[in-house]
Amino acid sequence: MTSKKEEFDRSIKERLKQKQFVKNPINGTKHTLLVSSAKGGVGKSTVAVNLAFALQNLGLKIGILDADIYGPSLPKLINLNEKPKSEDGKAMIPLEKFNAQCMSMGFLVDEQTPMIWRGPMVISALKTMTQKVLWKDRDLIIIDMPPGTGDTQLTFAQEIKIDAAIIVSTPQDLALLDVKRGIQMFDKTGVKVLGLIDNMSYFEGDDGKQYKIFGEGGVEKTAKEFNKDFLGKIPLNQDLRNSADNGDPLTHSNPDHEISKIFKSIAEKIIQFYQ
Ligand code: ADP
Q: In the chain, what are the domain boundaries?
A: 23-274
Q: pTM of the prediction?
A: 0.89
Q: Please tell me the least confidently modeled range out of 73-82, 157-166, 171-180, 222-231.
A: 171-180
Higher pLDDT, 263 or 154: 263
Find which of 77-91, 153-167, 237-251 is predicted with most confidence, using mean pLDDT: 237-251
Buried b (16+ CB within 10 A) or exposed e, 99-123: ebbbbbbbbbeeeeeeeeeeeeebb
Quick check: CB of 237 below 6 Å from ligand 1? yes
State the pLDDT confidence band at 155, using cuts at 50, 70 and 90: confident
Distance CA(267)–CA(270), nearest Å, equals 5
State the pLDDT confidence band at 17, using cuts at 50, 70 and 90: low
State the pLDDT confidence band at 275, using cuts at 50, 70 and 90: confident
**Mean pLDDT throughout 113-133?**
75
Give, for ligand 1, the residue of 178, 241, 260 to mutate: max count of ligand atoms closer than 8 Å to Cβ. 241
Quick check: CB of 50 below 6 Å from ligand 1? no
- Which residues, 6 or more positions from 245, have their beta carbon under 8 angstroms from its beta carbon? 76
126 has which bridge partners?
Answer: none
* Residue 125 alpha carbon to ligand 1 centre in Å: 25
* Assigned fold of 23-274: Rossmann fold (3.40.50)
